[in-house]
Amino acid sequence: MATAFFRIAPRGWFSFHWGRVKIVILDAYTANPGDLDWDELASLGQLQTYDRTPADLVIKRATDAEIVLTNKTVLSAETIGRLAKLRYIGVLATGYNVVDLGAAETHGIPVTNIPAYSTPAVAQMVFAHVLHLTQHVASHAENVRNGDWANCPDFCFWNEPLTELSDRTFGIIGLGQIGREVADIARAFGMRVIAYNHRPPLDLPNGIEMVGLDEIFAESDILSLHCPLTDANHHLVNAERLEQMKPSALLINTARGPLVDTVALAKALNDSEIAGAGLDVMETEPPPADHPLYTAPNCHITPHIGWATQAARRRLIGTAVENVKAFLEGHPQNVVNADQLA
């Protein structure tokens, strides 16, 4: 049986015997509610999966595991410090803020993520929201179901303004893989595409104009967020920025909830400072039942599903397996704390 040896301070020398290493998934249900399988991962070791793990059971469930995978279950500094056998943390997502990277560094534990798996799915969700806000398909279909068309004296009717995308300005904040795919789709609709990135891209795709933050908020007819969440851009979209936007503008957020001050957004929608918003992420998930955006006009919220097509989740699981294999072979990949461990 193959054995991999590593030296990761300060927990010292250790070895992995393929097939014997214990692997625990703390919250397997979201990535795989039963329409996929974990067979490839199970072939690498002794796999234990939990649909969900409350905070008070994390240590108990992971205590004997060398490898722990998590999606949204938090691995705090205290938890990492108490898991003496832990040698690897795999995040089943692109964002990895649920793991205390400093604590992982202290214990010499690599933390990996799953980059780029959801790009087509999230870009599709962006335009699901855009088209919903500009064509009002659901509302018109409901009118038809309620008999409004049957009782109409004309051959057609509409109850909301219908907006053509061609020649409108589509603004993108964050020109990573998803931002670039969204730009391609916007250009296919005949839109002018402007973008802001925290650092100038080395290779600017054709047809994208780089602008400053003030310009992108002021000029966009549709503004879509695609940047990671950092301390610097928390509440990037706030009351001041919303005042800069056109009264006819639409805001789309499929990136990270805390990029938007949702209380300020609710006020802006109620005061008609902007025309509408499509959100797939919120500051707190799930949001409280009395959240002010629930009653804000022309605000449509989906429950963080932009990433969740079966095809995207299959890619996620495949990359998770490859990440674990690479670690067991002694050359971890997609390590998000590589600089800290160097």
Active site residues: 256, 285, 304
Lookup result for tokens 């907006």: 163
* Cα distance between residue 171 and residue 235, in whole Å: 17
From 272, 220, 228, 229, select the one nearest 251 (Cα to Cα).
220
From 275, 270, 285, 219, select the one nearest 251 (Cα to Cα).
275
* Cα distance between residue 227 and residue 195, in whole Å: 11
Torsion of CA 319, 322, 328, 330, to 10 degrees: -100
Please report, for residues 191, 219, 242, the alpha-carbon distance to residue 277 in angstroms, rounded to integers and kept in the order given.
Answer: 19, 16, 11
* Cα distance between residue 125 and residue 95, in whole Å: 18
Indicate the SS3 state at residue 196: strand
Query: Residue 149 has which token pair?
Result: 């068309």
* CB-count exposure of residue 155 (10 Å: 0-12, 13-18, 19+): exposed
Neighbours of 266 (CB within 10 A): 19
CA 152 to chain centre: 43
* Cα three-residue angle 112-122-136, rounded to 5 degrees: 160
